[in-house]
Structure 1
Amino acid sequence: MPDKKKVLIINRRAPYGRSNARDSLDVALTCGVFEMPISILFADDGVFQLIGNHQAGDIGQKNLSANLAALPMYDIDQLFVCTESLNTHGLTFDSLEHSATQLDQTAIQQLIQDHDVVLTF
């Protein structure tokens, strides 16, 4: 059986307002069911997905934290966050509820090259 393709999902959108964040996590969980190697990068406004205490109910949406918390159950533990995006939004690594490895632009380029499939949401 051939090796499974390594998939990188890049989350660039805020957690609410559009379905991008939820769709990307659904894709990640689906790939996890098929035991595909998955990595997720949070960049641009996507870094807000890693912050805790979202009040999604106030805007009539479900909180994404449960989806993020479920990732390890699907063996998805390769989470990355763009250091530049954190800085741009005035966030610190300590302000993140969900742990992720910080990457600079050079490391992000290498991460993208190391994957067979790259999906951007």
Structure 2
Amino acid sequence: MESAENDDYDGYVGGGLQSKYKIPLGMFGKLPVPVKRRVIIEMTGGGADYCSECDGWASLVKEAYAWLGRDSYGRCRDKPGSEVSLPSHDILRSGKTLMGSLFRGLEPESDIPALINRYMDKVI
């Protein structure tokens, strides 16, 4: 999060397209703690002992996954086509949960048809 703020990354914090919290990353560090806490609780579905977010490099994704404990939350994003290798022992025996998304938080069954309709109507 901190490096994203320093690099003027033009992303958002807030748990996906349907989130009620759409906060530019550069502003997240300036928010009061109660607002940050609400955003993290929404993103994690109840909160986490430790939170992590990394973007862009497979090595960072691997490090973030290794760092996270059982009751932690991490959100990682990598470039399309890159490969991330994780030790199977960590996935199978640690109790950690690994989730992924092909469409950056979109719900394929509802959001993809809506995007197609917007494209066909020349809105996007």
Assess same fold via TM > 0.5: no
Q: Which has the higher contact order (CA 8 A, sep 6+)?
A: 1
Q: State the TM-score, normalized to the length of structure 1.
A: 0.33
Q: Which has the higher strand share?
A: 1
Bigger Rg, which one: 2
